Amino acid sequence: DTEVTQTPKHLVMGMTNKKSLKCEQHMGHRAMYWYKQKAKKPPELMFVYSYEKLSINESVPSRFSPECPNSSLLNLHLHALQPEDSALYLCASSQDRARTDTQYFGPGTRLTVL
């Protein structure tokens, strides 16, 4: 099973709302990632978790708050977002071995901020 699941598929929220995106994998992977993808652009890395610890934050604004409660689950908490934060949010996971490692992506959550 090489599946990464993400919920919800679509999310519409106002600028004062608080919401969360959820990502799950059951492949035993120890690294998990959040990416943001604007229309017609490549995915851009936001956060990396390795062994449930945050190892990379690519200068993401604090209105995005990641959380890794356990090795299978990754959340992205959203608060006070701006309309320009509307995008496809992708989650991915990978093993921690070097050579044969592959990053597997979920289908994404399409976020619209009104």
Query: Residue 19: left (phi > 0), alpha (psi -120 to 50), or beta?
Result: beta
Range 1-60, binding another protein (CB under 8 A): 4, 30-31, 33, 41-45, 48-51, 53, 55-56
- Taking contact as CB under 8 A, which single stretch among the options 12-20, 67-75, 77-85, 92-100 is the one that binds another protein? 92-100
User: Pick from 19, 20, 22, 104: which binds another protein (CB under 8 A)?
Assistant: 104
Range 69-88, binding another protein (CB under 8 A): 88
Phi, psi dihedrals of residue 41, rounded to the nearest 5°: -125, 160
Least Å from the CB of residue 16 to another protein: 27
